[in-house]
Amino acid sequence: MTAKLLKNYIAGEFVSGCREFRNISPVSGKTIGHVSEADQQLVDQAVSAAKKALKGPWGNMSVQQRAELLYKVADGIEARFDEFVAAEMADTGKSLQQASTIDIPRGAANFRVFADMVKTASSECFHTDTADGKGALNYSLPRPLGVVAVIAPWNLPLLLLTWKLAPALAAGNCIVAKPSEETPSTATLLAEVMHDVGIPPGVFNLVHGYGPNSAGEFLTGHQQIDAITFTGESRTGSAIMRSAAEHVKPLSFELGGKNAAIIFDDADLDEAVAGTARSVFTNGGQVCLCTERVYVHRAIFDTFVKRLKAEAERLKISWPTDPDTDMGPLISNEHKNKVLSYYRLAREEGATFVTGGDVPRFDDERDQGAWVEPTIITGLPESSRCIKEEIFGPICHITPFDTEEQAISLANDSRYGLAAAIWTRDISRGHRVAKEMDAGMVWVNTWYLRDLRTPFGGVKMSGIGREGGQHSLNFYAEPSNICIKL
């Protein structure tokens, strides 16, 4: 990464804001660049540009023309694939393997999927009887919401930003997006791609900055935006809801989780151990879908714990650029301190550390970075904060259970309800237990197997609404009913 200044992108131009903040490498804690922060005035300009663009060429484009532009965005990401991968790795410290097989390919795929969907979307049509016998025809047309504020987190920066952007654009909206202050780079590259492929000025605007008293809050509290779509912490979701309440905006929220996995004694143990290791440690546990609570049938508890420990200790924790690296650092030293505070709390509460619990030592610049060890703990009561609160790090607690009912009740005993994983060879039990999970997404004998057409979202404090496939298009466009008297 060069140490260039990352700018805001407004009305088709890259512009500087009020001040600059540092972009810090989580690998070493060193500054790798600077980012221009948008103040209220710049956010106002971005929102005005988006409003104006709704009435410009974008608003008059056919669905086919819009879709063609979105295919070009996907092509543009792929044409600069290596740059995107390098930028994502520099900002997050995630491994080359993950950035090049998940984050960036999915970033491009999101544009293709929603361009395809919007081209083939159908609408409702009803024939209505009338007293004169001639009848009436009712049909609905989707209309974009207008200016959509897109607020994204740092864990899967391009993937989650485009997960919202692509359907919002496909539906004909104009956007003001704010990436996380921790991960500004791929969003800025995306603005360059949008510019180069000819997305009309003002259709996509990017503002950089923090949340409170910065670009995030200026944007979500803005009277002129028409909707907010947000992925991030549940607490931030409440703050955004409060600021949006004054002007009554539609909201789509994808929030935190404290996801459970249930391992029955009839599970294929090889698959269950490998799948659970993946679900706990992928991206250093920094995926909203990651498992932090594991419930294992007592008959296989000791074996499972021993085998998961072996998987955790086999992970290669190394430079993101090393093709064999399984796990990089956490996103920042601040987040590392948060995760380590839970490791400390677990120790104080008397947990048994099966493995991990500390920071790895490298004797090089990485010792100033945000690295922590993959960690497995047991022995805490279910009331422990370590079992109740989202840690968002490479850690899980494992609890034994005796009956199916008990496993269901333990898994559901959470304020969150995003995802769950069930491991069993008994497919009837798989269906039965899946149906009982208080979670928006349940995997049976797998984890994080995604079909982008399926509903994605959480219950309880894990979110409001569903995105994915038609669910996204339903949020980003509202149907207008037209009734014709025949």
Distance in Å, CB of 164 to ligand NAD, minimum: 10
What angle do the packed helices 185-197 and 104-120 form, to 10 degrees? 40
- Contact between 288 and ligand NAD (CB under 6 A)? yes
Catalytic residue list contains 254: yes
- Contact between 465 and ligand NAD (CB under 6 A)? no
Token readout for 107 is 């970033």
Q: Could you say which of 88, 254, 292, 390 is catalytic?
A: 254
Stretch of 27-35, 251-259, 373-381, 421-429 contacting ligand NAD, by CB under 6 A: 251-259
- Contact between 160 and ligand NAD (CB under 6 A)? yes
- Contact between 110 and ligand NAD (CB under 6 A)? no
Between CA 249 and CA 216 the distance in angstroms is 15
Choose among 432, 479, 484: nearest CA to 122. 479
- Contact between 225 and ligand NAD (CB under 6 A)? no
# residues near ligand NAD by CB under 6 A: 32
Question: Which is it for the CA torsion 37, 42, 47, 53, positive or negative?
Answer: negative
Single residue of 33, 172, 257, 320 touching ligand NAD by CB under 6 A: 257
Beta-strand pair 227-231/147-151 = parallel
Between CA 290 and CA 448 the distance in angstroms is 9
- Contact between 231 and ligand NAD (CB under 6 A)? yes
Are 438 and 417 a contacting pair, CB within 8 Å? yes
State the amino acid at position 235 in one-letter form.
R
State the amino acid at position 225 in one-letter form.
I
Single residue of 255, 407, 421, 477 touching ligand NAD by CB under 6 A: 255
Distance in Å, CB of 34 to ligand NAD, minimum: 17
Stretch of 89-97, 146-154, 303-311, 443-451 contacting ligand NAD, by CB under 6 A: 146-154
- Contact between 152 and ligand NAD (CB under 6 A)? yes
Distance in Å, CB of 266 to ligand NAD, minimum: 31
- Contact between 239 and ligand NAD (CB under 6 A)? yes
Are 143 and 59 a contacting pair, CB within 8 Å? no
Between CA 161 and CA 189 the distance in angstroms is 12
Distance in Å, CB of 230 to ligand NAD, minimum: 7
Stretch of 87-95, 164-172, 176-184, 274-282 contacting ligand NAD, by CB under 6 A: 176-184
Spell out, one character per residue from 371 to 410, where the chain touches ligand NAD: x when CB under 6 A holds, - when not: -------------------x-x------------------
Between CA 237 and CA 76 the distance in angstroms is 32
Distance in Å, CB of 463 to ligand NAD, minimum: 5
Distance in Å, CB of 234 to ligand NAD, minimum: 7
> What's the gap between Cα 454 and its chain centre?
15
Distance in Å, CB of 49 to ligand NAD, minimum: 20
- Contact between 468 and ligand NAD (CB under 6 A)? no
Burial of 60-83, coded b for 16+ CB within 10 Å and e otherwise, reads ebebeebbebbebbbebbeebeeb
Single residue of 23, 162, 220, 472 touching ligand NAD by CB under 6 A: 220
Distance in Å, CB of 6 to ligand NAD, minimum: 14
For ligand NAD, the closer CB: 254 or 326: 254
Beta bridge partners of 443: 421
The CA angle 63-64-66, to the nearest 5 degrees, is 65
- Contact between 463 and ligand NAD (CB under 6 A)? yes
What angle do the packed helices 63-79 and 104-120 form, to 10 degrees? 170
For ligand NAD, the closer CB: 34 or 119: 34
- Contact between 193 and ligand NAD (CB under 6 A)? no
The secondary structure element, H or E, covering residue 333 is: helix 333-348
Choose among 380, 384, 394: nearest CA to 327. 394
- Contact between 330 and ligand NAD (CB under 6 A)? no
Stretch of 187-195, 254-262, 273-281, 400-408 contacting ligand NAD, by CB under 6 A: 254-262
Distance in Å, CB of 335 to ligand NAD, minimum: 7
- Contact between 217 and ligand NAD (CB under 6 A)? yes
Q: Which CA distances in Å does 36 have to 10, 12, 89, 424, 464?
A: 13, 16, 20, 51, 31
Residue nearest to ligand NAD (CB): 211
Beta-strand pair 31-37/19-24 = antiparallel
For ligand NAD, the closer CB: 69 or 215: 215
Question: Is residue 289 helix, strand or coil?
Answer: coil
* Beta strand ranges found along 328-423 (DSSP E): 352-355, 375-378, 395-401, 416-417, 419-423
Single residue of 96, 104, 108, 151 touching ligand NAD by CB under 6 A: 151
- Contact between 185 and ligand NAD (CB under 6 A)? no
Q: What is the CA radius of gyration of the chain?
A: 23
CA atoms within 13 A on the CB side of 241: 15
Q: Which residues bind ligand NAD (CB under 6 A)?
A: 151-155, 160, 178, 180-181, 210-212, 216-217, 220, 231-233, 236, 239-240, 254-257, 288, 390, 392, 418, 458, 462-463
**Active site residues per annotation:** 254
